[in-house]
Amino acid sequence: MNPALRRFPVAVCGDPALRRGIVLAKSELAKKCGVATGDPLWLARQKCPQIRFVLPHFDVYEQYCRSIRRYYAQYTPLVEPFGLDECWLDLSGYADNAVSAQLELADRMREDIKRLFDVTISVGISFNKVFAKLGSDMKKPDAVTYIGKDRFRDQIWGLPVSALLGVGRSSNEKLHRSGILTIGALALSDRNFIRAMLGKNGLMIWEFANGLDESPVTSQREPRQSLGHGTTLPQDAHCSADLWPVIQKLSQRIAFELQDEGLVARGMQIYVRDCTLMFHQYQMGISFGIEASAVIADYALMMLSQHYTWVLPVRAFGIRLFHLEQKNAPRQRSLFENRQQLQRDLKNSAIDRTIREIQKHFGSSIIERGSCVE
């Protein structure tokens, strides 16, 4: 969006004034200087003195991702998102089995996206989803990688085991302690040994390493299991009153997302990170489905008051709702429902919808709760 930045190393970063001053994403030029995701800004500048920092524009990022997914849909209805900016596509019905045809199609899509959206993509082609994902990571930016069924051992078994989908930091450390450093070493290890060490996830990644992933590409989204948001505070909170505006803002953001997806929640969890970075987590079930920001905020404050002692100030806070269900789904009513509480939730939901519509038309800063105004 700002072509003048293209000749510089660039990092997207959090706001240092809000104590989120770390690198969230970096350009190829910054990566070549050694800048890594999670680096504090002072360290990124030390590694790369000419680096330029920009704040996130999440709404623009999300808009691009959705537009590109719509482009994919002209080739196949089987587009399965993986995170926000990655997708699996099942193109088996579009291109024939010849490798040349698959590579030609991938190059056409890559060039189209560059021309239409002025961004680059990296494409992995393979006989299963895990290796297609791995291929997309092997060459960046603006590249196509093919991993064939007859040559995948030669192509990927020498890669670090951490490159394989499903191998997180903890699994990687355990595998390394056992002398398993590469994907090939994992594939050739005893299956039962890996399962004993890592449980079901161990069996899964062992199968991935051996090319045994048979999961289909599906456009059907799995039902959302939870929804939440958290934030690091600009200044430590020393009491519930300090935290109340933050609770309200987080609750409103969650309520808007619930409404967008037509969901209500029957469980809530809050987390608190104190000034020593110690993590505290509390949760509870709720007898009726909640969706209104005011109700979410009240429950979060109630849980905080019941459980957190305020011996130490709070540095970060978050709210997560779980046991989500469709708002209009049939359910058994209770003889002991609190009718006043249900009516209050409906009333506050209507207020949320009105606020949401105003913000959509005139901008997110045009209307705000009085207690949240700085």
Is residue 230, in this structure, part of any structural domain at all? yes
Between CA 139 and CA 124 the distance in angstroms is 9
Is there a single domain that holds both residue 244 and residue 322?
A: yes
- Which amino acid does the sequence have at 121? I
pTM of the predicted protein model: 0.63
CATH label of the domain that carries residue 189 = 1.10.150.20
Is there a single domain that holds both residue 87 and residue 51?
A: no
Is residue 221, in this structure, part of any structural domain at all? no
Is there a single domain that holds both residue 23 and residue 94?
A: no
Beta strands 10-13; 52-54: pairing state: parallel
Between CA 233 and CA 251 the distance in angstroms is 15
Return the residue matching tokens 């939440």: 228
Q: Please, how many CA atoms are within 13 Å of residue 202, restricted to the half-sphere of its CB?
A: 17
Between CA 220 and CA 218 the distance in angstroms is 5
Decide if pLDDT at 335 tops 60. no
Predicted confidence at residue 279, as pLDDT, reads 84
- With vertex at residue 143, the alpha carbon angle to CA 137 and CA 144, rounded to the nearest 5 degrees, is 80
Is there a single domain that holds both residue 306 and residue 359?
A: yes
Return the residue matching tokens 């970075």: 277
User: What does the pLDDT look like over 353-373, one tens digit per residue?
Assistant: 888 788 777 776 778 777 666
Is there a single domain that holds both residue 241 and residue 355?
A: yes
Total number of domains in the chain: 4
User: Do 63 and 44 meet the contact criterion of CB atoms below 8 Å apart?
Assistant: no
> Is the peptide bond between 81 and the residue preceding it cis, with omega within 30 degrees of 0?
no
Is there a single domain that holds both residue 63 and residue 102?
A: yes
What mean pLDDT comes out for the span 9-25? 80
Containing structural domain, residue 247: 226-372
* Residues designated catalytic: 86
Predicted confidence at residue 148, as pLDDT, reads 94
Predicted confidence at residue 105, as pLDDT, reads 92
CATH label of the domain that carries residue 40 = 3.40.1170.60
- Which amino acid does the sequence have at 19? R
Residues contacting 324, CB < 8 A, separation 6+: 223, 224, 225, 226, 227, 258, 263, 264, 265, 266
User: What does the pLDDT look like over 52-69, one tens digit per residue?
Assistant: 999 888 878 888 988 999
Is residue 172, in this structure, part of any structural domain at all? yes
Is residue 219, in this structure, part of any structural domain at all? no
Is there a single domain that holds both residue 256 and residue 340?
A: yes
Between CA 139 and CA 123 the distance in angstroms is 8
CATH label of the domain that carries residue 115 = 3.30.70.270
Reported for 341-347, long-range contacts at CB under 8 A and 24+ positions apart, including other chains, are: 341/288, 342/288, 344/292, 344/294, 344/295, 345/288, 345/290, 345/291, 345/292, 345/295, 346/292, 347/292
Predicted confidence at residue 19, as pLDDT, reads 60
Domain stop point among 152, 187, 206: 152
Is there a single domain that holds both residue 51 and residue 64?
A: no
SS3 of residue 1 by DSSP: coil
Is residue 350, in this structure, part of any structural domain at all? yes
Is residue 182, in this structure, part of any structural domain at all? yes
Between CA 120 and CA 297 the distance in angstroms is 41
Between CA 294 and CA 352 the distance in angstroms is 9
Is residue 52, in this structure, part of any structural domain at all? yes
Is there a single domain that holds both residue 296 and residue 263?
A: yes
Is there a single domain that holds both residue 77 and residue 204?
A: no
User: What does the pLDDT look like over 207-240, one tens digit per residue?
Assistant: 999 999 999 998 766 567 788 888 888 889 999 9
Is residue 245, in this structure, part of any structural domain at all? yes
